[in-house]
A = this chain, B = another copy of it.
Amino acid sequence: MIDAAERKEPMDEGVSLGGLETTVGFVLRLAQVAVFKDLLSALKPFDLRVTDLSVLLVIEATPGLQQRAIGDVLRIQRPNLVTIIDQLEARGLVRRGPVPADRRAYALSLTVEGEALLQQAKRAHAQHDRKVLDALGDLDKERMLAALERIAAL
């Protein structure tokens, strides 16, 4: 396959984006897609998607959490979280334990296998995150995060 950068005739570099290229929203999307693609490939060896990693991280941080709580903080709809947990449970990474006070809910926790895999995945994630931070250049992380959080609260 021939990359656009080395094609002969059309020379797409000259095509105007109609002002889109100086728009925060548009570039924000390009950046987000790139970050997710990079992280996804970094997690490939562990057969984890980005969402899987985030779920595992939250469970690790607070074992005993219920599905609803995880969905809330990660902005995952409850029905969607069900299948995610289903898969992680089927792989023996996560356990659906009983909640003493509530027989409807499950107390989620990592199995030893889940904990072990997560440790590996965390190293890959840290490596990925380093790349992202390097790309920030002179812009310090704190100001970037603050700005992004304000945008997220639109």
Contact = CB atoms under 8 A, between A and B. Distances in A.
Contact of A154 (B23, B28, B34, B150): B34
Interface in A7-66: 10, 12, 15-20, 22-39, 54, 57-58, 60-62, 65
A28 B24 contact: no
Interface of A is mostly: helix
Contact of A144 (B15, B24, B34, B38): B24
A112 interface: no
A1 interface: no
Interface in A109-139: 128-129, 131-133, 135-139
A4 B58 contact: no
A125 to B, nearest CB: 8
Nearest to A56: B18
A100 to B, nearest CB: 15
A22 to B, nearest CB: 7
A12 B128 CA distance: 28
Interface of A: 4, 10, 12, 15-20, 22-39, 54, 57-58, 60-62, 65, 68-70, 72-75, 128-129, 131-133, 135-139, 141, 143-154
19 contacts: A15-B70, A15-B72, A16-B58, A16-B61, A16-B62, A17-B61, A18-B60, A24-B133, A24-B145, A24-B148, A27-B148, A30-B149, A31-B32, A31-B151, A34-B152, A34-B154, A132-B154, A139-B139, A139-B144
